[in-house]
Copies of this chain bind each other. A is one copy, B any other.
Amino acid sequence: MTPPRRRLPPEERRRAILDAAAAFFAEEGLDAPTRDLARRAGVTQALLYRYFPSKAALLEAVFERVYLNRLDPAWLDALRDRAVPIEARVTAFYEAYTAAIFTPEWMRIFMWAGLAGEELNRRYLEHLGAAFLRPLAEELAAAPGLRAPEMEDVWNLHGSLVYLGIRRFIYRLPTPQDARRPIARAVARFLAGLRA
């Protein structure tokens, strides 16, 4: 009946707690109680405070784990490779991007953080805009036969695809399990709109 008291190397225990914390806070929200998290991680609540000085610090570590190094710089090179048709490039970018962010942890923690007023979202989206969406807009402008889009048009395309993840992970509505078809159709329609 007494739970065996297993002793783990600190590195390993820390990672186990962070894994549990990411899934837990994604599900329950950023101010879900640390006691419930501890139960889920299979440790006592007090132990969390050996690895993290405060709940805020633990959350910061979760943010880092979920959002850092999730954007692959290689996507930018592929996006800029004008040997490849523009439609294939944009499609490939959004297939890679949605594959990276369409997880409960990414989508739900992002939304919880946004509502809570964390700066995470603004910083992240400004970076995404500058590092990927503006280059994407430039490639569209440079593509033969396309009118140059405004950044707001690109955000519109972006939102149309991210919304698929919102329906799936936030509202838990049924959505196509494979995002590739919706992506292909949305990108094709977007480009057709820039040609007309």
Contact = CB atoms under 8 A, between A and B. Distances in A.
Contact of A186 (B117, B156, B164, B173): B156
Residue of A155, A172, A195 with highest tally of chain B CB at under 10 A: A155
A171 B124 CA distance: 10
A161 B122 CA distance: 19
Interface residues of A, number: 44
A101 to B, nearest CB: 14
Interface string A150-168: 1011011111111110110
A85 interface: no
How many copies of this chain sit in the oligomeric assembly? 2
A111 to B, nearest CB: 6
A38 interface: no
DSSP class of A's interface residues: helix, strand, loop or mixed?
helix
A94 to B, nearest CB: 12
Nearest to A126: B173
A117 B29 CA distance: 11
Interface string A1-13: 0000000000000
A156 B171 contact: no
B115 A170 contact: yes
